[in-house]
Chain A
Amino acid sequence: MKQAPDEAASIKPFSTIPALLDAAPALIARGRFLDCECRLGLIDRPCFASIRSGRIVELTAQPALMRSWRFSFRATPLAWTEYWKPMPRPGWHDLLALTKRGEAVLEGDLHPFMTHLQYFKDLLALPRLPASKAAA
């Protein structure tokens, strides 16, 4: 049986997302009308993200008390590890493939997520390194 990845190691790539996003102007432009509070990350310890005009202006790891959020996308450590592989395996390669297989949970008011679905798919794939960089 495959060993579940260490939680701390799984959560680390999330902290890199705001900077990776800042270096992706086309993705910011895709989210230019998006302002929302959401939870993204691990099932047990999601981060709170504040998005303004497509930029993550604040990313807070747990614990954070009494935060409001509109939607939440949380997945298992294994799901994120697989999702971020340079060439993810079938069934682990898309956010909604993860929800279908029961490795991720999407909940709350889904409107901001659905109006910006490709934005969130691309945003959460930012830690996915190209195969060339991963091998380096």
Chain B
Amino acid sequence: MNGRIEPMTGRYVHVDIGGEMHRIYFEENGAGIPLVCLHTAGADGRQWRHVLADAEFATSFRIIAFDMPWHGKSNPPAQWTGEDYQLTTARYTETIRAFCKALRLDRPAVMGCSIGGRIVLNLAIDHAAEFRALIGLEAADFQQPWYDTAWLNRPDVHGGEVCAALVSGLIAPQSPRASREETLWAYKQSGPGVFKGDLYFYRVDGDLRGRVQRIDTDVCPLYLLTGEYDFSCTPEDTRRTAASIKGARVTIMESLGHFPMSENPEQFRRYIVPVLNEIAKAQVSSKQGVHA
């Protein structure tokens, strides 16, 4: 065999979500602390391929990225009859917890981006004890909308083209061309109405203003990292959110936008390495009975 094979493996797990069985596709690599990665709206787990393939991360973490139902290689459930897909806070939270339970993950760390970053805040509010660390990329309790989501799914506009073109501006201009195109490709491939359905959670159902104050970072550490070129979830949105969470750690990432892990993996690595090292170190301290 001459070809280079990447280290992650992909499989399907059947998960009961809301009383319906879902066939969920996930990829994983490494051993150690479970680290579950959540993709952005209208995309899929491929966004995490550089984190998944990172040999250094894989020595301390079992890195797992799954495709949400309706996304990537996770089909809609068999019972689906074609009605509009619409993600809610409750459904998203349930999906993540059910997936972690199905894999029997022991207090995983969860890292989510965009809608994944928002739901991480909800996990911190309501389920902090189930997780050992939470990382929100491009996360805030609320963001000001900047376009009408009705454009995302209508028969006279190409959904793939318009979804990709809308989010293209959220990528930092410094990002390598190939990574930029790869990030947009997922949006061009997304199923009809899926991005729009995800944004129901983001825009309508998942407003966490007034709730994030309940987050207790002593129970579960919370890291928030936002790219300076993200004008959807701006650095100011993240800072405002963090200001009401005692102990939340904020990093503003230079030369990055809304998709740090896929738009410029090398630049993102500089920022995520210290966070993952801290989580790994806490694990070692905990095993040795040392409490910070």
Contacts and interface: CB of A to CB of B under 8 A. Distances in A.
A96 B229 contact: no
A118 B165 contact: yes
Contact of B161 (A90, A94, A117): A117
A45 interface: no
B169 A94 contact: yes
Interface in B188-244: 228-229, 231, 234
A88 interface: yes
Contact of A121 (B144, B147, B168, B231): B168
Interface residues of A, number: 19
Given A96-B166, A117-B165, A90 B158 contact: no
Interface string A86-129: 01101101111101110000000011001101100100000000
B156 A94 contact: no
A95 B169 CA distance: 8
B161 A100 contact: no
B80 to A, nearest CB: 28
B174 interface: yes
B151 interface: yes
A88 B255 CA distance: 11
B164 A118 contact: yes
Contacts of A117: 161-162, 165-166
A99 B229 contact: no
A87 B173 contact: yes
Interface residues of B, number: 22
A121 B165 contact: yes
B173 A93 contact: yes
B165 A90 contact: no
B146 A118 contact: no
B157 interface: yes
Contact of A93 (B151, B158, B169): B169
Contact of A90 (B147, B151, B156, B228): B228
Contacts of A111: 156-157
B162 A96 contact: no
Contacts of B234: 91
A121 B169 contact: yes
B229 A93 contact: yes
B146 A96 contact: yes
A87 B174 contact: yes
Contact of B169 (A87, A97, A115): A97
Contacts of A90: 172, 228-229, 231
Contacts of B169: 93-97, 121
Contacts of B156: 111, 115
Nearest to A120: B165
Q: Which of B144, B146, B151, B165 has the most CB of A within 10 A?
A: B165
Contacts of A87: 173-174
Q: Which of A88, A95, A115, A121 has the most CB of B within 10 A?
A: A115
B173 A96 contact: no
Given A87-B174, A100-B144, A121-B169, A115 B229 contact: no
Given A90-B231, A96-B231, 4 more contacts: A87-B174, A97-B169, A100-B231, A115-B162
Interface of A: 87-88, 90-91, 93-97, 99-101, 110-111, 114-115, 117-118, 121
Interface of B: 144, 146-147, 151, 156-158, 161-162, 164-166, 168-170, 172-174, 228-229, 231, 234
5 nearest interchain CB pairs? A94-B169, A117-B165, A118-B165, A100-B146, A97-B231
20 contacts: A87-B173, A90-B228, A90-B229, A90-B231, A91-B234, A93-B169, A94-B231, A96-B166, A97-B169, A101-B231, A111-B156, A111-B157, A114-B162, A115-B158, A115-B161, A117-B161, A117-B162, A117-B166, A118-B168, A121-B165
